[in-house]
Structure 1
Amino acid sequence: MDFSGKDKATYVQETFNSIAKRYDLMNTLMSFGLDKGWRRKAVYTVEARAGMHILDVCCGTGQLSMELAETVGVTGKVTGLDFSEKMLERAKDNISQSSFEPVIHLLQGDAMNLPFEENTFDGATVGWGLRNLPDLEQGIREMIRVVKPGTVVVSLDMAKPTLPVFKQGYWLYFEKLVPWMGKVWAGKAKAYQYLHDSTVEFPAQQELARIFERSGLIETRYQNLFGGVVAIVSGRKLS
């Protein structure tokens, strides 16, 4: 993957700063409006309940944070962390137009070095974020470190479908149409080419589940969504 002479962290930060304004629109278009349902499944998988404090890593524009907030309610709390200041600005705007503003706390930070004590949270999610990290396993270990024993770590991200014909159609769509859509609706074809390239390099859902296990989680599994285009990978921290 070409980072134009920059390290991955800098490239990713600049890329997401550049697409923050149209990020939610593009997600809806690219997923045919299915992304909200996928986020709800992630909330269910992390076992969020009223009164819990959940961490949302790489929270972006706050869409998953708001789904979590709806579940934990006014007695709970959601902490959303992201590297991109522009994405956080969009998150603040989105949350300010919702009823969840008192529940969600946003901060800028590095997923590779989370600014929290061990065993702080009742679970952690990351939506379309792990593939952007310079060191995938370090990012997973950090999420494990800051959640309480017995709680769940969840990743929601693009995956690799295996069904013949469907698989070929998916990759053609992602390689050719998504950058075109990025150019037309966001004016950022190169940024959406990165989304394709990063998905190609990201481990398949089966392998990511094994990485979760190798990182110290138990009960690791993956759930394919929309034919394996997207997957939820999860694991539980040892009690």
Structure 2
Amino acid sequence: MNITNDKKSYVKQMFSDLAPDYDRLNRIISFNSDRHWRQRAIRPLFGCKMVLDLCAGTGDMALALFSYPQFEGTVVLSDFALPMLKLARKKLGRFQNRAFLVCADAEKLPFKPEVFDGATLGFSLRNLESLSTFAGEARQVMQGGGVGSFLEIAHPSNGVWGKLFYIYFYQLMPKMAGVFTRHRQAYRYLPESLKVFPPQNEVAALFFREGFADSRYENLWGGLAAIYNVRK
């Protein structure tokens, strides 16, 4: 499967179709650890007043942020797959008065410059057509001194843990598709998307090259996932 040809249209359609099963898919991919990883990723945003949740999906990053009483701000959830946002609206429940939903492309944001003092994203960096374009767009809408925290599946370090992950992610998980979900194509796409995604140090370096004053990453579970922390 070639995921580079018209990737944006392919990904948009896939996640629109996948929306009802998206949360279950995340549980399977992450060994049911995605909730903990999200809680870890949103910590730098507790003091923010206006956070942009990019590629917001069904709203799990925003919900993780709202679940902490330390966070008293507002979240704008942005995603180009409208079925995802419709599910997010239902899940937000009592937090809807502090959340705004916008159907928008993360690589062509409709917001004015320097609106947000925080930005986040969960498991969608691999799905972007251009990581550089995304970094530039995110930086433009963030205020000076604003922080970003982006969570993504990553490349584990070598060793037993890394070998087990690759066996699971590239061999076992696609075969499980027929058991847990109707969306076999998504399970084939996900391993392919990680194959062409840069290693953690290169992603952090890219954010720095695109103009962020600070860019670093934190490995989770030996590199099974990573949090990219940036500051404008």
Task: Return the TM-score normalized by structure 1.
Answer: 0.91
Give, in angstroms, the shift of residue 178 of structure 1. 1.8
Give, in angstroms, the shift of residue 219 of structure 1. 2.4
**Kindly tell me: are residues 130 and 72 of structure 1, through their superposed partners in 2, closer, same or farther at Cα, counting changes over 3 Å?**
farther
Give, in angstroms, the shift of residue 30 of structure 1. 2.6
Q: Is the 8 A contact 2:46 2:71 kept in 1?
A: no
Give, in angstroms, the shift of residue 75 of structure 1. 4.7
**Aligned letter for 1:53?**
M
1:102 is aligned, of 97, 101, 115, to: 97
Who is 2:61 aligned against? 64
Point out where structure 1 has 5 or more consecutive residues left out of the alignment.
none
SS of the residue corresponding to residue 60 of structure 1 reads: coil
1:89 is aligned, of 62, 86, 92, to: 86
Q: Is the 8 A contact 1:54 1:68 kept in 2?
A: no
**Kindly tell me: are residues 17 and 94 of structure 1, through their superposed partners in 2, closer, same or farther at Cα, counting changes over 3 Å?**
same
Point out where structure 2 has 5 or more consecutive residues left out of the alignment.
none
Who is 1:211 aligned against? 206
**Kindly tell me: are residues 129 and 72 of structure 1, through their superposed partners in 2, closer, same or farther at Cα, counting changes over 3 Å?**
farther
Who is 1:44 aligned against? 43
Task: Return the TM-score normalized by structure 2.
Answer: 0.94
SS of the residue corresponding to residue 145 of structure 1 reads: helix
1:151 is aligned, of 142, 146, 155, to: 146
SS of the residue corresponding to residue 122 of structure 1 reads: strand
Who is 2:2 aligned against? 2
1:215-238 CA deviation, whole Å, 9 max, x = no partner?
11122111000111000011110x
SS of the residue corresponding to residue 143 of structure 2 reads: coil
Who is 1:230 aligned against? 225
Who is 2:19 aligned against? 20
Worse overlay, 182-191 or 54-63: 182-191
- 2-structure distance, mates of 1:67, 1:18: 24
SS of the residue corresponding to residue 102 of structure 1 reads: helix
**Is residue 2:160 matched to residue 1:128?**
no
- 2-structure distance, mates of 1:211, 1:155: 13
**Kindly tell me: are residues 144 and 74 of structure 1, through their superposed partners in 2, closer, same or farther at Cα, counting changes over 3 Å?**
closer
1:191-223 CA deviation, whole Å, 9 max, x = no partner?
111111111111111110000111111221110
Give, in angstroms, the shift of residue 33 of structure 1. 2.1
Give, in angstroms, the shift of residue 72 of structure 1. 7.2
Give, in angstroms, the shift of residue 163 of structure 1. 2.7
Q: Is the 8 A contact 1:140 1:212 kept in 2?
A: yes
- 2-structure distance, mates of 1:131, 1:81: 17
**Kindly tell me: are residues 24 and 66 of structure 1, through their superposed partners in 2, closer, same or farther at Cα, counting changes over 3 Å?**
same
- 2-structure distance, mates of 1:32, 1:147: 33
- How many aligned residue pairs are there? 232
- 2-structure distance, mates of 1:74, 1:38: 17
Q: Is the 8 A contact 2:50 2:118 kept in 1?
A: yes
